[in-house]
Structure 1
Amino acid sequence: MSWMRWRPAMEQALYAPDGGFYRRPEGPAGHFRTSVHASPLFARAVARLLLEVDEALGRPEELAFVDVGAGRGELLAGVLGELPGAVRARVRPYGVEVAARPGGLPSTALWTDEVPRGVTGLLFANEWLDNVPLDFAEVDEDGALRYVEVDVATGEERAGEPVTETDAAWAARWWPAGGPGDRADLGAPRDAAWASAVGALERGLAVAVDYGHTRATRPPFSTLTGFRAGREVAPVPDGSCDLTAHVAMDAVAVPGLHSLWTTQREALRALGVAGARPPLALASTDPAGYLRALGGAGEAAELTDRSGLGAFHWLAQSVRMPVPASLGGLGGLPGWQTLGS
């Protein structure tokens, strides 16, 4: 057996150059469905947010759109396609991903494995943070937290060494230990990854969209799981499946910045995505238009479903800029709440 702590095992399984899951040719869309894949309405909403960021920034000469965890460029291409020509001419798009650059992207799009620094605009991370490799800890019979070790070939687990002071302090603040057998996802590496991404903005808005929880809804057990070919599977770190863990959204928020939180349902509704059915009278006056509107309403309903994609968490943090209208600033719509750290 080959035992190691979960963090290096996840790093190897997801991102190794010689067979990591996120380097596989089929891409994430071959295994699970995100909001980006569910409907072009998602890209349209993000494009609207980018336009509001542009306005709040005073329409800079160069406006960055940074798609972190860009997959195969689906969101990047979708957002660019929704922008007015005059704005698109000022946008510098970045796709941040470990996989090779996909075909079909505009020549202006830069493809990189690192978040660009010193840019001004919108940084958007859709289902990225849940894939940042973490360690996991379990409470032993004496009440001490120990790292969980995993066999990389089988997924079998065992208790390892006691956690470091740093991880113990993080758990005590954000995920307090319960009784023997309870587990915690040790989120300090994820917090650091998000802080680094947000810190890359000279001015702008950083948005993270993910499975998540806050202190009031923190689970007693680890949220680690796997996905393969559209199904939830055992999390075996052998490169054959996605490995994901829900995000502690209050912990990950960078201190000292204006931070807002809401559900995807509320965020998308504020950005013009609603699941209301078109009026039935339209079916008799414009049957084709009615069918298009009905299809759009179905897609919107999926994106905002309280028990599905609509339950995702949105964390928005502004860096040296006013809050856009759709986030409740500039006289905008309600639905967001301040998130304290």
Structure 2
Amino acid sequence: MLPMNLPEPAVEARAHSERFVEQLRAVIAAEGGAIPFSRYMELALYAPGFGYYSAGATKFGASGDFITAPELGSLFARTVANAAIRLLRPLGEADVLELGGGSGAFAEGMLTHLAELDWRPGRYMILEPSADLRQRQQQRLRERLTADLFARVEWLDQLPEQGWSGLLFANEVLDALPVTRFVKRQGEVMELYVEVREQQLRLTERAADSMLIAALQKVEQTLGRSLPDGYVSELLVQLPWWLQAVTGSLQRGLALFIDYGYTRREYYLDERSQGTLVCHYRHRAHADPFIWPGLNDISSFVDFTAVAEAGLAAGLELAGFCSQASFLLGNGLEQELAAPAADEREQRARNEEARKLVLPGEMGERFRVIGLERGVDASALFAFGDLSGRL
């Protein structure tokens, strides 16, 4: 029985998933009969031609599986641009690097509003691992941006090697990084692996390696307690190395991450004893990562304390941490909402967009914003509702 009454995929989509499962079984067999869950998540999301973000189905918006903030309308991108201009204009010649460009909606809104504010980046770089999404972004931006703005957009195959200054922006990127899953058994740490059992993908447990044990010990030290027996959760063991890689060439500027997540004390509460992993299919959330691999998004909530720690280890400083609602309201959302609308219908759409962006029951409190700075002072962007003390 399908969880949450998930709708059945189309015949072609189901066949795609079944072919992918055969490939996954072959990988598991070739790698010793079981692979870490992080490896499975990486393949499920990014395997060329099969992974969720690598295949051609629509991911974002009403016809996809979920809606991100930039897909709701232009208010989100315009308000982030209001914040960015306070950082970018004093830098003079500066760039923007967006990690994972989605449908291109954020880049469109950001570049358009920056131009309205009489500032243009030297380059607007998009690092997009999905060839399909890159093509969609290129088509959208070519059609909707002026020739001058479109000429500034560059799609990267790898992170910049040369030093640059400006804004690094990532919306709902951290939650899609492959996580290590673990369970505590009689005081020992066990890592969750994926194996094939009775022709089905299933979880199994293996003794954790020293890196995972050390990472969890650090978490438990900051919590001031050990996690109880049977507790299942996630760790982004590779986060320090990943963050060092994406910010290593940023000479001066701000790395801004927006995602759903918690501080560490919230993340490892007893009530989350089965972890924070969540899957999305056709706007329905469920908890089974083995249903129709390649058709489901798989993500995990973000431990923002870990992000702050990784940033400090990478030589950055914490600029601020707050809810999405506080960040947007503190950087001009109300002014953007009050701007003249073309008609009553547009104004109603804006009001609905703002409601979803800031209300606690929507994205306002569930999504958090963290800024890591180098050679600049971006603390003013977080002055409204800064929660850094909770990290």
TM superposition score category, shorter chain reference: 0.7 to 0.9
Distance in 1 separating the partners of 2:107 and 2:330? 21
TM superposition shift of 1:252:
1.6
TM superposition shift of 1:107:
3.2
Question: Cα deviations across residues 132-185 of structure 1 (Å, max 9, x unaligned)?
Answer: 112101112x2211111124784421212x212221111122256522221121
2:363 matched to 1:313? Answer: no
Question: Cα deviations across residues 80-131 of structure 1 (Å, max 9, x unaligned)?
Answer: 1111268554431011111122213323211124332422111111000111
Distance in 2 separating the partners of 1:309 and 1:76? 20
TM superposition shift of 1:340:
7.7
2:110 matched to 1:76? Answer: no
TM superposition shift of 1:226:
1.1
Q: Is the 8 A contact 1:177 1:184 kept in 2?
A: no
Question: 1:208 is aligned with what amino acid?
Answer: F
Instruction: Report the counterpart of residue 159 of structure 1 in structure 2.
Output: 205
TM superposition shift of 1:269:
0.5
In structure 2, the CA distance between the partners of 1:339 and 1:114, relative to structure 1 (3 Å rule), is: farther
Instruction: Report the counterpart of residue 223 of structure 1 in structure 2.
Output: 276
In structure 2, the CA distance between the partners of 1:276 and 1:207, relative to structure 1 (3 Å rule), is: closer
Distance in 1 separating the partners of 2:363 and 2:81? 19
Instruction: Report the counterpart of residue 60 of structure 1 in structure 2.
Output: 92
Instruction: Report the counterpart of residue 294 of structure 2 in structure 1.
Output: 239
Distance in 2 separating the partners of 1:289 and 1:47? 24
SS of the residue 1:322 aligns to: coil
Question: 1:243 is aligned with what amino acid?
Answer: I
Distance in 1 separating the partners of 2:201 and 2:335? 41
Quote the sequence identity (%). 26
Instruction: Report the counterpart of residue 55 of structure 2 in structure 1.
Output: 24
Instruction: Report the counterpart of residue 203 of structure 1 in structure 2.
Output: 252
SS of the residue 2:123 aligns to: strand
Q: Is the 8 A contact 2:75 2:337 kept in 1?
A: no
In structure 2, the CA distance between the partners of 1:91 and 1:85, relative to structure 1 (3 Å rule), is: farther
Question: Of 316, 324, 330, which residue of structure 2 is paired with 1:257?
Answer: 316
Which runs of no fewer than 5 residues in structure 1 stay unpaired?
279-285, 329-333
Question: 2:280 is aligned with what amino acid?
Answer: F
Question: Cα deviations across residues 29-52 of structure 1 (Å, max 9, x unaligned)?
Answer: 021111111121001011112211
Question: Cα deviations across residues 213-266 of structure 1 (Å, max 9, x unaligned)?
Answer: 112212333111211121113212822211100111011221153311101010
Distance in 2 separating the partners of 1:246 and 1:24? 24
Instruction: Report the counterpart of residue 170 of structure 2 in structure 1.
Output: 125
In structure 2, the CA distance between the partners of 1:236 and 1:50, relative to structure 1 (3 Å rule), is: same
Question: Of 223, 226, 241, which residue of structure 2 is paired with 1:192?
Answer: 241
With the length of structure 2 as denominator, give the TM-score of the two structures.
0.76
Question: 1:73 is aligned with what amino acid?
Answer: G
Question: Cα deviations across residues 247-305 of structure 1 (Å, max 9, x unaligned)?
Answer: 11011221153311101010011111249997xxxxxxx99655543432221111011
Instruction: Report the counterpart of residue 281 of structure 1 in structure 2.
Output: none
With the length of structure 1 as denominator, give the TM-score of the two structures.
0.86
Structure with the higher fraction of residues in helix conformation = 2
Question: 2:323 is aligned with what amino acid?
Answer: T
Moved more, 264-273 or 172-181: 172-181
2:213 matched to 1:168? Answer: yes
SS of the residue 1:309 aligns to: coil
Instruction: Report the counterpart of residue 148 of structure 1 in structure 2.
Output: 192
Distance in 2 separating the partners of 1:309 and 1:321? 29
Distance in 2 separating the partners of 1:199 and 1:337? 26
